[in-house]
Each structure stands twice: as C-alpha cells, then as structure tokens.
Amino acid sequence: MRSSDRIQLPPLEPRVEPVEVVRARAEGRTRAISGLLCALLLAVGVRGAQLCLSPSDQTLRQAAVQRWDQVTLRARRGEVLDRAGHRLATSVATPNVVIDPSRVKPEEAPELAARLSALIDVPADQILSKMNRESRYQRLAVQVHPATAAAVEALDHPSLWIEREPRRYYPEGMLASQVLGFVDASGSGREGLEASLDGMLRGGQVLLQRRRDRHGMNVDDPTGGQDLAAGMDVHLTLDRTVQRVTERALEGVVERHAPKAAFAAVIDVSTGDILAMANAPTFNPNDLGDDPAPRKNHVIQDAIEPGSVFKPFTVAAAVEEGLVKADSMIDCEGGSYVIGRSRIRDDHPHGMITIRELLKYSSNIGSAKLALRLGAETFLPYLQAFGFGSRLGIQLPGERSGVLRKPQNIKPIELATTAYGQGVTATPLQLAMGIAALGNHGVRMKPRLVSRVEDLHGVPEWVQPPTRDTVAVSPTTADSVVEMMISVTEDGGTATRARVPGYRVAGKTGTAQKAENGRYGEGRIGSFVGLVPADDPVLAIVVSVDEPSMGSRYGGIVAAPAFAEIAAASLRHLGVAPDPALLQDKAYLPKGYVPPTEPTEEELPPESLDAPGPIRLAWTGEGWTVPDLRGRSAREVVAALEPAGLSLELKGSGTVVDQQPPAGAAIAPGHEVALVLR
C-alpha cells in the first residue's frame, strides 16, 4: 500500500476530569492521612502516658542503660606506718590531663595545643596529633603537679578535664625501701611488705554508677566511693628515726670501705621488735631505676657464713652444759691445732687462756675444742634453739633458712668449724635474734615486724603481740656470756671501735671467708653483733659489710664503728640515759674520745663572745629540756635535735623566730618540735 493510500485519523482530544471530582478525591486523601496521623499521635500519647504512669521493668532497665554508666574502681590502698604512726607508704590521688577530641573545633586546635604544651611540657605536635584522632578520650599527661592541673582547669575549655587516680607514694623516699617494696602500674605489690601483705593492703574493687549526658560524657566524679572498700593499714615495729640513723651509718661504711653491700638490723631485746632493717646500696620506690640489685633485702635474703660472731653461742652451750665457766682455762695450742688431716689456726695465737679471753681474742681453736667436747648430739640442738637452721617466719618474702648440718651427718672437722661459724650459714636477722636471746636472759622472742593491721575505721583486724619462741639457755648462762662479751670491746679486744660513750657494750666481731664454686675465695664479710647497754640490754644490733674493697676487711674495723654510731643515736632517741661514771672511764670510751665541756669566757676569742654557742640538749632522766632555738639556722637545729630522736616540723626559711614547745619545756624522745623560720 502506498503511503498516499493510508487512512488519516483525527487527533485525540485530552480527557479532563471535572473539578468537583478532583477536589473530592483530594479531600478524601487529606482526611485519610490526617486521620492516620492523629491516630499515630494518639498512640504515641497513650504510650507516653503509660511510660510515665506505669512503666515496665524492661523499660526502666533500658532507660537506666542509656542514662547511667557503670565503672569499676580500685579501692584506696592501705597505708604502712611506723611504730609512732608516721606514714612510710600511702596512696595519693594524682591528676591526669584528659581531652575529648570530638569537642575541639579544627580552627582552635593549633592554639589550644600550644597553650597546653606550655603548661604540661608535652610537644604541641604530639598534643595536636591526639586532638585529630576519632576518639572521645585521650590522655595528654599523667601524674602532673596539682598546680599544673589547676592551670589546665583554668583554661575552662569544654574538651578538657582532670581525672584523678590513686598512685603509691613513699613520703620518706628511700627509707626502709627494701622492707616496704613497691607497687607496679597495675596496683599490685612487688617485693617487700607491699607484696607479702598485698591482700590486706590492696582492698577490694568498687562498682559504681555515674550519670551520662546526651553526648555520652560522664557528669559525675565517682572517686569518692573508693574508700568504701579501702585496704587495711599496716602498723610496723620499725622506728623511723632508728631506721634513718642505721641507714646513715651504712652510708658511712660505703664511703669509707666501698663494699659490694652493707646491711644492718636493730632489735628490741625484750620484745623481738625489729626497730630497723637497712641495706646499702638502696633505692627510691618513688622513682624505680633499671637496676634490680639495690632492691635486695640482704638482712633476710643472704645466708652467709657468720664467722666468729658465732662463738658466743658455742660458749653459751658449753656453759649451759656445765663444761666451763667464764674463768675456766682452755689450751689454744699456740695457735695451731690438728683435727684428722685438717689444721685449725688462730689469727692471734695463745696458749692457755680463759673462756672470757676465748671471746676477747676470738680463738678458733678454743671454740672448736668446746664443740668437740659437747658433741654433735648436744651442741647442734642449742644452735637450733637460738634460731639457726630454720626460717624465723617474718612477714617478708624471700627469707632464707640458712644451713645447719644434722648431728648424724656431721664429721668431727665440720663440727669443729661450725663452732666458729664456718661451714654453717645464717641470715643477719638470725644472728641479731640469737644475740638478742642472750640479752633477754636466754629467751628468744619471735621477730616482730608487723604489730597490727587495722581497717578503715581503726578497728584491729589482726594483732601480733610480742611472743616468746624458745628458751635457748638459762638466765644465769645468758647473763654470764653477755658479761664475757664485754671484754671484746675492752682494751686488747677485737672491737674497741664499738664502744659507745656512757654505755657498756657486749659484742663479738667476725670476719668470714666467702665460698665460691665450692671453695673459699678472696671475698670476706666483716660483721659485728652486739648488745647495749650490756648491764641491762635494750638493743641487739648486727652490722655486716660484704667484700670491703678499701682499708681493712676485719669486722672490728669495718662494722664495729657503724654499730657504735647506730647504738649511740638510737639510745638517745629511745631515752636510755648514759651512765655518767662511764663517761669518765677510759676503759669504756672510744679511742681519742674527749667528753664535751662548756667553754669559759676566757677560752672564747673576743669576737665570739656575742655569738651563740652550740645547741645543747639537757637530759632530765625523763625527757629532753628544749633549748632556746630563736635566731638559729635550720641546719643547726636539725643537727642538734634530730639525733636526740625529736621530730621536726619546719615552716619557712632563714632563722628560727618562733618555736613550740617553748624553751625550757621537757619533752620525751619522739616528740614533735614545730619551728617557724623567717
């Protein structure tokens, strides 16, 4: 078909609905949608009213989850205090600077980072890097100074806040650090009492709720609830002043003789209380170094051959068995004695000497003969009664028991060498407790380091009173041996450097070889153990010096002077008055000692007549009479008052302008003297 033949249809006209129809349909739709919206609003209103008036338990739980946040807090760790209540370890809330990067505007970030960098001493680019992270929480600095925290808060920026977390702090620094130990970053005790009593000190964990705002940020500070399950406080028998003078004495030993280590213990004879346990070198638990060696507590962790300091126990056993008395004679064979294929020698050869002189001249041969006469079955149980060969049970980790051979396994030569401290090992604490037993009329007390443990409210949870352990020898024997030991510090004895002005000293020196790879090497340990005052012992003190490299290696030279220093300061602090008669008796005074005298006006140079003399404390028999300290420097006051056992509180700097108690007041050792300086 040709295109011209196609049929042409007329164009279609568009269909137009009437306006009334369109309007009616629109109105119907509008009514339907409006009705649906009203129904939904009504349902929401009814549901809202139901939630307000009678919410279900599930609804309440969901609301709480959205509004409240739970946090688990570590409770405040308990404190460690000395016998007078001075804090040795405590917990403080240290500030951390925290930022919410999501609340920092990009344009203000560089300026804010620069201002924070100047305050917290952190590089600005490091702060800016944390600000750019997709996070709601970033720590900028930890354990900042409170003044720094206050300066950060003064910026008043919504993204910044200060959080506080507990940190272990040791107010006395290095004092008794090996005894206390330290706490790691997770809050767990490491070494010392912090480790052994961690369960008591740590406390529990507190689960607390805190509110959150619409941004999910916490608006409550829950740290106040940490005390609800706080750890218990531990009260020690340590005396802060005695511990301090002991550590200072060991520092002097290190300066004079450069040993590998030096260590000492001070024991209250009548109670067994450990007043001091010191080691040098030491460390600061507030600032741990990388070297773990100074953290070792040699007093309980070193089982050493005691050497001649063992001889008083040998003599005590022989006297108790009735074999000898102080004036009994014994043949020391001119300094050489053969047992089997072995030979025993004396450093100071003698022939016939008394038992008292056996201790005075430290005869190995005399001690060996006493042990052989006693026999192993009789002699060794006495050593066990004095506390050797087994742990003492002190509340510190790592205590050694030492080595003491069994009677059935010991050879004659081994029994002989045991008598003078060779082939047997003991810790310095065992030696101190053994000597304390002699001073306590033969009764050995259990060593006491922790006196009590109290809860948050001061209620004792655990108490350890002074406890008798064993009766090693009779009072008569013990007193006799102590009297013999006085000769060691008299002229001709091995420990004249251990004398303390105004007090009689009973003691014994020892210089032991150190075993290396099963054989004795060149190393030596010089020791001194002693009781003071010898007439009525109050303190038992042991000092040991491991491998001194300068000067002498003998205990009477390296350890005895430290003993005298510790004893003199400790007795003054404890209020044990010296005997005035002994201050004039040269037999009981250190070599070259000159009793202090007040200078007369004629002896003073003219220009010094108006200058104040040295600060002098007067002992009344019950306490110290406080001098007038006004116009004195802090250095003068500390040097005069601290050795007397007085606690000082200094405010300001310069010279003293006010003091409490006033001049002329009588105060007991340990009393606090408050001074204002300007």
Active centre residues (catalytic): 308
Beta bridge partner(s), residue 508 = 529
C-alpha 487/C-alpha 470 separation (Å) is 27
387 closest CA partner among 466, 477, 302, 473: 473
C-alpha 195/C-alpha 191 separation (Å) is 5
Q: Which two tokens stand for residue 13?
A: 């006209």
C-alpha 636/C-alpha 483 separation (Å) is 39
76 neighbors 226 (Cβ within 8 angstroms): yes
Name the residue with tokens 């349902």: 43
526 closest CA partner among 256, 335, 344, 300: 256
- What string of DSSP letters covers 218-268? B---GGGGGGGGPPPEEEES--HHHHHHHHHHHHHHHHHH--SEEEEEEEE
448 neighbors 541 (Cβ within 8 angstroms): no
370 neighbors 167 (Cβ within 8 angstroms): no
DSSP one-letter code for 304: B
C-alpha 385/C-alpha 476 separation (Å) is 17
DSSP one-letter code for 93: E
Backbone φ and ψ for 252, nearest 5 degrees, come out as -65, -40
SS (H, E, C) 422-491: CCCCECHHHHHHHHHHHHCCCEEECCECEEEEECCCCCEEEECCCCEEEECCCHHHHHHHHHHHHHHHCC
Beta bridge partner(s), residue 212 = 218
601 neighbors 610 (Cβ within 8 angstroms): no
449 closest CA partner among 227, 190, 265, 678: 265
Return the sign of the alpha-carbon dihedral for residues 306, 311, 314, 319.
negative
Q: Which two tokens stand for residue 532?
A: 């003071």
Name the residue with tokens 């210089």: 511
C-alpha 184/C-alpha 47 separation (Å) is 54
C-alpha 87/C-alpha 76 separation (Å) is 15
Q: Which two tokens stand for residue 120?
A: 């917290």
Q: Which helix (H) or strand (E) holds 416?
A: helix 412-418
C-alpha 484/C-alpha 655 separation (Å) is 50
Coil, helix or strand for 118? helix
- What string of DSSP letters covers 624-652? EEPP--TT-BHHHHHHHHGGGT-EEEEEE
Count CA atoms within 13 Å of residue 66 on its CB side.
Answer: 7
Coil, helix or strand for 73? strand
CA–CA distances in Å: residue 362 to residues 125, 315, 460: 71, 11, 48
Q: Which amino acid is at 612?
A: P
